[in-house]
Amino acid sequence: MNETITIAPSALWERGSPDFVYVERASRHRSLHLVMQDGVARPDRTRHGFLSAAYRDAVARYQSSAHIERAQSYLRRTVRVLDSLSIQVETRVDDFRDLGLYLLVEEAGVFHLLCTREVPARVRVNGVFVPLNASVGGRAPHGVQEIPIETTRAQHDLFAQTLPDSLVLYRVESPRDEVFEILLGGGAADAAAALDALDARSAATTRVSSDRITHSMLYARFDPAPAVRGTAEEPRAVKRTMRGRVRGVAAAALLAAGLVAVGLYAGRLDVERKPDEAPTAARATQERPVPVMTREESSVEERALEVAAVEPGRETDDDGRFELAWEQTYSEPVTSSPSPLGDAIVYGSRDGRVYASAASVGRASGTTSSTRTTPSTISSM
* 86-138: pLDDT as tens digits: 888 788 887 778 888 999 999 888 899 999 887 778 888 777 888 877 644 44
Task: Say if residue 37's pLDDT is above 60.
Answer: yes
Q: Which range, of 45-54, 162-171, 250-259, 323-332, averages the lowest pLDDT?
A: 323-332
State pTM to two decimals: 0.56
Determine which helix (DSSP H) or strand (DSSP E) holds 146, and give its type and residue range.
strand 144-147
- pLDDT computed for residue 377 by the predictor: 47
- pLDDT computed for residue 376 by the predictor: 44
Cβ atoms 83, 162 nearer than 8 A: yes
- pLDDT computed for residue 230 by the predictor: 44
Domain boundaries, the chain: 3-231, 292-325, 326-381
Q: Which range, of 154-168, 212-226, 302-316, averages the lowest pLDDT?
A: 302-316
Task: Say if residue 74's pLDDT is above 50.
Answer: yes
Cβ atoms 157, 119 nearer than 8 A: no
Question: What DSSP line would sit under 184-223, residue for residue?
Answer: EES-TTHHHHHHHHHHTPPTT-SEEEETT-SS-EEEEEEP
Say how far apart CA 132 and CA 172 lie, in whole Å. 10
Query: Per residue in 260-273, is it b (16+ CB within 10 Å) or e — as a string?
Result: eeeeeeeeeeeeee
- Give the strand order in the sheet containing 207-210: 128-131, 122-125, 180-185, 217-222, 3-9, 207-210
Q: Which 8-state DSSP code applies to residue 62?
A: H
Average pLDDT over residues 248-252: 86
- pLDDT computed for residue 13 by the predictor: 57
pLDDT tens by residue, 143-178:
788 888 876 655 445 445 677 788 889 998 876 777
Provide the mean pLDDT of the chain: 75
Homologous superfamily of the 3-231 domain (CATH): PPM-type phosphatase domain (3.60.40.10)
- pLDDT computed for residue 204 by the predictor: 76
- pLDDT grade for 10, boundaries at 50, 70 and 90: confident
More confident residue, 332 or 282: 332
Nearest to 359 by CA among 325, 329, 321, 322: 325
pLDDT tens by residue, 175-192:
677 788 899 998 778 888
